[in-house]
Amino acid sequence: MKIRIFVLAYDDQSRLFAEQWTEGCSWATVIENPSTRYLENQMYSSWLLEHIDQWQRCEYVGTLSWKTPQKIPVPDFEALKTHLELRKPDVVPFFPCHEPILLQGQRHHPLFRELWVGLTRELGIPEEQAIHTAIPLFFCNYWMATPQWMKRYIEFFKKAQRVLDTCESIQEGLWSDSRFEKDISDERCLEIFGKPYYPYHCFLCERLPSLFFTLEGAVVWHPYIKF
């Protein structure tokens, strides 16, 4: 079974760190992902399709970040392979959460509900589905999927990105302070976002896979959590 996980770095230092902890891992490819307001989500906008030859013949393709060991145990892909052969899931998250999307998002970001409902409404998703409490949540774009499902998610993400870039009714809230406790300087924030804080783009986007795969009926296997 061939698994390709792109480990996302953003500069020389983060790339070196990622290369150190992925050394000898046949599943890992470390790449530099330029920082935009979408952060790691930018992968789904263009890079993955531009490099489809690197993953379309794999059984699974996904992403982790250079910072993975500081957030979760690095997945043991050799141990997972037996379960993957038996279960044949469409999607495998690596950073799951027990809380519902809306409750968790609103607890950390004051305008989350307003923006989440506004975004999903523009995508044609009824509010009762967008805020459904039974949708298993996972974070940080730490997940993998079959190439077929990855392609489907990419198309969905590009539609969501167009809404975030153009929908006038959500722009003021979208660019407001998400109240994220940042670990970078105001100057670095200004370089990435044009603001001295994190706006909402990346926090909305990192929750989209949970919603999309559930509503589209993908078989999502959470190997590290029981719901």
pLDDT band of 155, cuts 50, 70, 90: very high
Q: List helix spans (H) across the chain.
A: 12-21, 42, 48-50, 68-71, 77-87, 101-108, 112-122, 127-130, 147-166, 168-174, 186-193, 201-205, 208-215
Q: Which residues of 114-128 are buried (b: 16+ CB within 10 A; e: fewer)?
A: ebbbbbbbbbebeee
| Backbone angle region of 179, left / alpha / beta, with phi > 0 → left and psi within -120 to 50 → alpha | left
pLDDT band of 181, cuts 50, 70, 90: confident
Give the mean pLDDT of 207-215.
Answer: 95
C-alpha distance across the termini of the chain, in Å: 27
C-alpha radius of gyration, the chain, whole number: 17
In a domain, 226, yes or no: no
In a domain, 56, yes or no: yes
In a domain, 221, yes or no: no
Give the mean pLDDT of 85-107.
Answer: 91
pLDDT at 71: 93
In a domain, 220, yes or no: no
The 10s digit of each residue's pLDDT in 43-90 is: 999 999 999 999 999 999 999 999 999 999 999 999 999 899 999 999
pLDDT at 224: 67
In a 3-state reduction of DSSP, which class is residue 16? helix
Q: Count of CB atoms within 10 A of residue 63's CB?
A: 25
pLDDT at 1: 93
pLDDT at 134: 76
Give the mean pLDDT of 107-119.
Answer: 95
Whether 165 has a pLDDT exceeding 90, the answer reads yes
pLDDT at 2: 96
pLDDT band of 227, cuts 50, 70, 90: very low
Q: What range defines the domain where residue 55 resides?
A: 3-215
Dist CA 165 CA 168 (whole Å) = 9
Mean pLDDT (the chain) is 93
Output the pTM of the full model. Answer: 0.94
| Backbone angle region of 24, left / alpha / beta, with phi > 0 → left and psi within -120 to 50 → alpha | left
68 exposure class (CB count in 10 Å sphere: 0-12, 13-18, 19+):
buried
In a domain, 224, yes or no: no
In a domain, 84, yes or no: yes
Give the mean pLDDT of 98-114.
Answer: 90
CA dihedral (95, 139, 215, 114) in degrees, to 10, reads: 150
pLDDT at 209: 96
In a domain, 171, yes or no: yes
In a domain, 223, yes or no: no
Domain count, the chain: 1
